[in-house]
Amino acid sequence: MSQRIGRRDLLKSVLATTAATGLGAFAGGQHWPANAAENAAMPKRRLGKTNYEVGIFSLGGQSTLEQDGTRDASLEIINHALDLGVNYIDTAVRYGGGISETYIGEVMADRRDEVFLATKSHDYSYDGTLRLCEQSLERLQTDHIDLYQHHAVDGFDELDQIGGEDGALRAFNRLQDEGVISFKGITGHTPALMTEAIERHDYDCVLISLNAADMNLNGPEDMDEFLEKAAEKDVGVIAMKVVSRGSVLDRGVNMQQALSYTLSQRVATAIVGITEVGQVDEDVEIARNFDILSGEELDAIREIALA
């Protein structure tokens, strides 16, 4: 037991230089001024074939944003994120049964042109997808969605259904032809399945779970293959589950290390669910000061995450 603890302490010391920048501690309740993005813009990356220049930190529509009774807190989080230069928001029908889309829609009514807006359909049928898309448009208070995605595709049978004659992909193509959606995407947690998805179909983006623990649990070779194939096909990669539902943090990795680990991979941006508005400041600050981690730093974070 003592040897294991000593190993973790040693690994953390490898990261001490990064942590010593002071990014790990933020004054509670203090926020940047609304014009901070003008003074120090967040780094951006090209989102694959969409050609959109997306900030490397993006807002996910989970946590507080998917909970009933959190309207005021959610609107504060969304508006504050946009004030700081966040220009990508991801949500889904399943996040609170439409609650997340509704809160985001209240902000989109006035600030739609400031963000690349992404949502999802969990219905893999043609008719079901069209029905869900119409509902999402109403809740989001917009007439178009920048990126529409199949939600949580985690089996080859689901991928078969999506691509079938009465599948969701045909609905996506229709919606794209009609100008209702701009780009098509797919989301999932299994790199090998996402590789197969972009081999079969012409997706513009993939949203995939990518964190220090998952890189090993899902097979680093599979993730490497997926990231290589995505780069080859110019598919924009959006990372999610940066802290693996909090389990990475519970093992001793801090938010700066977790987010920096993910952003050091070949991804365009990472979406993060926010619990309280101060976390927006922290994550934007991490993004603004981000430097790609060395191989030694990546290995050290992965060791702690898997301890």
Residue 121: count other Cβ atoms within 10 Å of its Cβ: 26
Contact 152/179 with Cβ under 8 angstroms?
no
Is 95 annotated as catalytic? Answer: yes
| Cα–Cα nearest to 190, from 230, 235, 155 | 155
Do 197 and 188 contact (CB within 8 A), yes or no? yes
Which is catalytic among the residues 88, 95, 103, 203? 95
CA angle 243, 248, 251 (to 5 degrees): 160
Contact call for residues 50 and 147 (beta carbons, < 8 A): yes
Residue type, 212: A
* Distance spanning both ends of the chain, measured CA to CA: 12
Which run of H or of E encompasses 279?
helix 278-288
Do 188 and 162 meet the contact criterion of CB atoms below 8 Å apart? no
* Bridge partners of residue 116, in order along the sequence: 88
Enzyme catalytic residues: 95
